[in-house]
Structure 1
């Protein structure tokens, strides 16, 4: 790829993605609202990606070998992307999420009995409701509840791309991203480090079920690889080795040289990554395409160290 557009790409693993693309020799154009500068050496276009006129004007006559959309959250945004990038690129990759598989966010999502593959949620058959208030996050939260609004927005965005898209498209369904220390604005691993280091209990379900993780640099590498490839449809992106919140707590405690205190959640206040249902992904399709993810156990100690350094 000689010329790539990244929508978003100015924070966390989006920064790694842009850097990887640049190192591969690609010219990178970053589109965002101007709230944060992109990495040096990129062309920076300021536009609201939800505003079709604004996005069209910012792009001008530019075309791209591929587009990687880091901030595609709703079917309304996907519809804008279809129209604006038709004829501008042959390849479109959206960053999606494993939350599309969470049965707690939709009655249409089947409950899992182990790691799920991409067929568990098929975007080609997923219903799209354009009449919902996709431009009003507060109204969506009231309609769906949280975090269901986020998950449903991603599912319906994938579905819009799946219906006769004017380009080859793929959605990368990312596992929970860890690593990066202070860069990780979610603070979810830091939650464990802070509480365990201070001897405070971590709220986990009594029969916590496993979930999947991926390192922040590895998800960036997989997005870059997907943009350069020709695989279509959804792709699961996760490291080998799912963990329960209990296991994660034990690993954090071991790294900190202490022990973890656990308690049952009360009133729904479970810690991040604690689930009372199976919530892990199968990355077999990515492996069949030639991408081998690392083991969670190989990079998690370093991620814990980074989080610990950030909370001191």
Structure 2
């Protein structure tokens, strides 16, 4: 039986990944801070650690190995370097959850070559030393330089789902229902998204196959923020109050100045079949709207 370690894994798409791993018959260990509990009970081994503490990781890996490790909670180059120091020689493969935020918001559709972690100047530091996107860029660069095991960096856009604890899509639905304004910068900007179920399915695929390197993982297609808000209006039966700019209280989590989305051609060519964004987004908006109407 293959052994898998998931750093994170008790919430949202991380939880869905563990559910898929268990269904496939893997022996799963999850390592978390313990704040979200263990929704899997005795089906998994649950180790409570601080992901940022090197001695915790060393204790976790004492006299053991894993075939696959999923790291959903690495946000800095320091964390990535410690991971490599501890896990080199002890695992078969790493699947690292990265992000669309490794790419600049410049209106151009993004492909993997737009950020090359193999030739990126490394600047060590902790999470607080970087923006979210730069921390992930640095982490990718460190993994690809220092890891002695295969690495897949999965670049997700914003992940959506009814159980999204960040409630970014919920924010829009709730404010429309309550007839409160939402601040945007550019309503014609396009974005790409992925459903949490598909994100989990992709992570499983990335671990099981021979692929290595950076991979964009997004539902096929993009949507303008104007069209997205029209879906919210349709689901709620109310008109959205749109404000350009606005303060932090009303500003949309999607308030981007230009289009920011990516293509999934590389992963598609490698054999993964993505959903079409328009095949599920409207239904998801309607499901979230039911929570507030």
Give the TM-score, by structure 1 length. 0.88
Higher mean displacement: 31-40 or 62-71: 31-40
The alpha carbon displacement at 1:263 in A equals: 2.2
2:142 to 155, 160, 163: 160
> Aligned runs of 1:49-128 on 2, under 5 Å?
49-103=51-105, 111-113=106-108, 115-128=109-122
CA distance in 1, matches of 2:142, 2:199: 23
CA distance in 1, matches of 2:46, 2:210: 27
The alpha carbon displacement at 1:112 in A equals: 4.3
2:267 is aligned with 1:290: no
Tell me the equivalent position of 2:160.
178
The two structures, once aligned, show a CA RMSD in angstroms of 1.8
1:243 to 218, 223, 243: 223
Is the Cα contact below 8 Å between 2:154 and 2:216 reproduced in 1?
A: yes
List alignment gaps of at least 5 residues for structure 2.
none
CA distance in 2, matches of 1:206, 1:300: 20
The alpha carbon displacement at 1:245 in A equals: 1.6
Is the Cα contact below 8 Å between 1:5 and 1:66 reproduced in 2?
A: yes
Q: Across the two proteins, how many residue pairs are aligned to each other?
A: 290
Higher mean displacement: 118-127 or 204-213: 204-213
CA distance in 1, matches of 2:288, 2:231: 13
List alignment gaps of at least 5 residues for structure 1.
104-110
CA distance in 2, matches of 1:88, 1:307: 42
Is the Cα contact below 8 Å between 1:244 and 1:274 reproduced in 2?
A: no
Higher mean displacement: 239-248 or 119-128: 239-248
The alpha carbon displacement at 1:125 in A equals: 1.0
Say which SS state the counterpart of residue 87 (structure 1) adopts.
coil
Say which SS state the counterpart of residue 304 (structure 1) adopts.
helix
The alpha carbon displacement at 1:256 in A equals: 2.1
CA distance in 1, matches of 2:89, 2:147: 11
Is the Cα contact below 8 Å between 2:220 and 2:274 reproduced in 1?
A: yes
Higher mean displacement: 293-302 or 261-270: 261-270
2:200 to 213, 220, 226: 220
CA distance in 2, matches of 1:47, 1:28: 16
Say which SS state the counterpart of residue 310 (structure 1) adopts.
coil
Tell me the equivalent position of 2:283.
302
